C-alpha cells in the first residue's frame, strides 16, 4: 500500500513538473509542490523517501521565493530532511560511541576520513578567498550533497535496500533520455529562434530560475555545435548544459545493466537455448543503443574521447584479475560477468554510424553538409581548434595559480580569480575545465592529492566488492560501475560538469552505494 502511494505521488509530481516547465501552470505552483514534497518526506518512511528522492533527481525545481532569489532548489531542503530523520533515529549516546570508534580507528586508507580532511581544507581555504561569502556558500552547497551521501551509505548495509535503490535509479535515466529524444525530434519542426524561446526563455527559466536562463540566453550555452553557418543540436535534456546530461546517463547505466542482465545470471532462470539467448539480447541491445546514441548526440567530445580510456581500463582489469586470481571459481565467474559487460561497450562505437546522419540532417529548418560529425571528431585532437586552445590556455593559467598559491589555493568557490574574472562568472561556467586542477587551484595541492587518493580508494573498494559479490544482480551493478564511474572521471580531465546538481546527486548516490555496501566475506 505504501509503495502504491509512493508511485501515485511520484506520478503527480511528474505531471505537475511537466505542466510547470511548459508554462501551462504558473511557476509559483512549484512552491506548493515543494511544500507537498516536504510534507511527504517528513511523513514517509526513510527508505521510501530516499527512493522517491533518487527517482526525482531531474525533476526538482528551483523555488521562486522572491524576484531576486528564485534559484534555490527544493532538493536541498529534502536532503536536509532525510539527514535529520536519519540522525534522530538513534540516541546521542549512540553517536558519541560512533565518534569515539571513528577516532580510534582513524586511517588515511578509509575514504570517509579523507572526505573529512577535504572538508577541513575547504573551510581553511575561506581564509585566502577574495569573496568569502562565495566560499562559504560553496561549502554549504557541498555539505548538502554530503549529508545525503551519509544517509545512503548507512542504508546501503541492507542488501535489499541497495537493490531497491538501484532499481528505482533507472527511472530518472529513462525520463531524461526520453526528453532528450523529444528535443532532437523538435529540431526538425522549429527554427533556432523558436527553440531558444521554448528552452532558453521558457523551460530553463522555470526549472532553474531567471539568473541561469539569463546566463544561458545572453552569455552563452553549450546547446549547439557550430561549424561556420551550420549548427547542430547538442542534446541537454532537462540539464543546464550538454556536458552534465551525458554524465548523468552514464552513471545510471549500471543500474539498467543490473536489471537487464539479472535473469541471464540467475541460476533459477538461466537461459540455455541459443534462440532464447538471442531473443533475450534484442531488448538489451535496443535499450543500450538508445542510451549510447543520446549520449553521443550530446556532442560532448570529452565523453567520446574518454570511452577509449574506459576500454583500456577494462582490458587492464581483465588482465589483472586473470593473473591474480585465475583459480577461484566465484571470482572467475564475476570476472566473466565483467568481460560480458565490456562487450556491450562496442555498441557505443557502433552508434556513431547512427549519429552521423542525425548530425548531418537539416535541423532548425536549415540545411547543412554531411561532414559536421566528422569535423567534430577530428577537432578532438586539433589543439589549434578554438575550444581546445582555450582549454590549454586555461590549464596553463591554473597551473601558474597553483604554483603561486600551493597551500590553500585561491579559496573554494573563487576559481574565476585565477582567470581574473568576476566571481559571479562561476555560475556561467568559469572553471579550470579539469576537475582535478580545479580543486587544487581552489583548495591547494594537498586537497588535490587527497581528492585523487579518495577516488583511488573508491575504485579499490569497488573492485573488491565486484570480485567477491555473491549476489548476481549486485555483482553486475558493481562490475558496471567499474566501467561507467571511471568513464565520468576520465571525462573530468576536460571539464567539471560533474558539479552540476543533478549529475552530482547521481554521482553521490553511486559513490555512497559503493562505500556503504558491506564487503562480502
In DSSP notation, 36-61 reads HHHHHHHHS-HHHHHHHHHHTGGG--
Provide the residue range defining the domain that includes 47. 1-91
DSSP H or E stretch at residue 73? strand 72-73
**For residue 94, what are the contacts with CB-CB under 8 A and spacing of at least 6?**
none
Q: pLDDT value at position 269?
A: 46
In DSSP notation, 98-161 reads HHHHHHHT--TTSHHHHHHHHHHHHHHTTTT-SSHHHHHHHHHHHHHHHHHHHHHHHHTTSHHH
Q: pLDDT value at position 230?
A: 72
Q: Is 80 within the bounds of a domain?
A: yes
pLDDT at 384 over 70: no
Residue 409 sits at φ, ψ, to 5 deg, of: 65, -160
In DSSP notation, 380-438 reads GG-TTSHHHHHHHHHHHHHHHHHHHSTTTTT-TT-GGGGGT--GGGGGGT-S-SSHHHH
Instruction: Select from 252, 341, 320 the least CA-distant residue to 460.
Output: 320
Q: Is 8 within the bounds of a domain?
A: yes
Q: pLDDT value at position 217?
A: 83
d(CA 121, CA 408): 7
Q: Is 158 within the bounds of a domain?
A: no
**For residue 196, what are the contacts with CB-CB under 8 A and spacing of at least 6?**
217
Contact by Cβ (8 Å): 151, 83: yes
Residue 72, beta-bridge partner list:
63
Greatest mean pLDDT among 198-207, 317-326, 368-377: 198-207
Looking at residues 294-311, what average pLDDT do you find? 94
- Counting the structural domains of the chain, the total is 1
Q: Is 13 within the bounds of a domain?
A: yes
Q: Label residue 90 by pLDDT band (50, 70, 90).
A: confident
Contact by Cβ (8 Å): 415, 135: no
Q: Is 195 within the bounds of a domain?
A: no
Q: pLDDT value at position 331?
A: 67
d(CA 303, CA 49): 32
Q: Is 6 within the bounds of a domain?
A: yes
Q: pLDDT value at position 268?
A: 44
Q: Label residue 330 by pLDDT band (50, 70, 90).
A: low
Q: pLDDT value at position 320?
A: 87
Q: Is 7 within the bounds of a domain?
A: yes
Instruction: Select from 361, 225, 224, 350 the least CA-distant residue to 291.
Output: 350
Region of 76 please: left (phi>0), alpha (psi -120 to 50) or beta.
alpha
Amino acid at each position: 500500500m505504501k509503495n502504491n502511494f509512493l508511485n501515485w505521488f511520484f506520478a503527480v509530481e511528474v505531471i505537475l513538473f511537466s505542466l510547470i516547465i511548459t508554462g501551462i501552470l504558473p511557476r509559483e505552483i512549484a512552491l506548493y509542490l515543494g511544500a507537498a514534497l516536504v510534507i511527504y518526506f517528513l511523513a514517509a518512511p526513510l527508505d521510501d523517501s530516499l527512493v522517491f528522492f533518487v527517482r526525482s533527481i531531474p525533476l526538482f525545481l528551483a523555488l521562486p521565493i522572491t524576484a531576486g532569489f528564485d534559484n534555490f532548489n527544493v532538493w536541498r531542503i529534502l536532503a536536509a530532511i532525510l539527514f535529520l530523520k536519519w540522525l534522530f533515529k538513534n540516541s546521542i549516546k549512540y553517536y558519541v560511541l560512533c565518534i569515539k570508534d571513528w577516532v580510534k580507528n582513524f586511517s588515511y586508507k578509509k575514504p570517509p576520513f579523507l572526505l573529512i580532511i577535504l572538508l577541513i581544507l575547504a573551510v581553511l581555504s575561506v581564509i585566502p578567498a577574495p569573496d568569502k561569502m562565495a566560499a562559504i556558500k560553496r561549502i554549504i552547497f557541498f555539505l548538502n550533497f554530503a549529508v545525503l551521501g551519509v544517509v545512503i551509505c548507512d542504508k546501503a548495509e541492507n542488501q535489499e535496500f541497495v537493490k531497491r535503490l538501484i532499481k528505482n535509479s533507472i527511472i530518472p535515466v529513462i525520463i531524461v533520455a526520453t526528453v532528450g529524444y523529444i528535443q532532437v525530434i523538435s529540431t526538425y519542426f522549429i527554427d533556432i529562434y523558436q527553440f531558444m524561446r521554448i528552452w532558453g526563455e521558457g523551460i530553463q527559466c522555470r526549472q532553474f530560475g531567471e539568473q541561469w536562463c539569463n546566463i544561458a540566453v545572453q552569455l552563452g550555452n553549450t546547446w549547439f555545435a557550430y561549424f561556420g553557418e551550420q549548427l547542430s543540436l547538442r542534446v541537454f535534456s532537462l540539464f543546464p548544459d550538454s556536458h552534465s546530461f551525458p554524465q548523468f546517463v552514464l552513471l545510471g547505466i549500471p543500474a539498467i545493466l543490473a536489471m537487464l542482465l539479472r535473469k541471464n545470471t540467475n541460476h533459477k532462470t538461466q537461459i540455455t537455448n541459443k534462440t532464447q539467448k538471442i531473443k533475450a539480447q534484442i531488448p538489451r541491445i535496443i535499450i543500450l543503443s538508445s542510451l549510447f546514441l543520446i549520449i553521443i548526440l550530446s556532442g560532448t567530445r570529452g565523453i567520446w574521447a574518454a570511452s577509449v580510456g574506459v576500454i583500456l581500463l577494462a582490458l587492464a582489469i581483465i588482465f589483472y584479475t586473470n593473473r591474480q586470481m585465475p583459480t577461484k571459481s566465484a571470482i572467475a565467474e564475476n570476472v566473466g560477468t565483467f568481460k560480458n559487460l565490456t562487450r556491450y561497450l562496442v555498441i557505443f562505437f557502433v552508434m556513431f554510424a547512427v549519429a552521423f546522419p542525425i548530425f548531418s540532417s537539416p535541423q532548425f529548418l536549415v540545411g547543412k553538409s554531411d561532414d559536421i560529425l566528422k569535423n567534430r571528431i577530428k577537432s578532438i585532437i586539433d589543439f589549434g581548434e578554438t575550444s581546445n586552445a582555450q582549454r590549454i590556455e586555461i590549464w596553463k593559467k591554473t597551473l601558474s595559480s597553483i604554483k603561486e598559491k600551493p597551500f590553500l589555493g585561491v579559496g573554494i568557490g573563487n576559481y574565476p580569480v585565477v582567470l581574473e574574472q568576476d566571481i559571479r562568472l562561476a555560475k556561467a561556467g568559469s572553471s579550470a575545465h579539469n576537475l582535478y586542477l580545479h580543486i587544487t587551484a581552489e583548495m591547494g595541492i594537498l586537497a588535490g592529492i587527497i581528492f585523487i587518493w579518495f577516488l583511488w580508494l573508491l575504485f579499490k573498494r569497488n573492485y573488491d566488492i565486484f570480485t567477491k559479490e555473491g549476489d548476481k544482480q549486485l555483482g553486475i551493478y558493481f562490475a558496471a560501475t567499474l566501467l561507467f564511474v571511471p568513464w565520468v572521471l576520465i571525462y573530468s580531465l576536460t571539464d567539471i560538469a560533474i558539479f552540476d546538481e543533478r549529475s552530482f546527486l547521481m554521482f553521490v548516490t553511486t559513490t555512497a552505494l559503493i562505500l556503504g555496501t558491506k564487503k562480502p566475506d
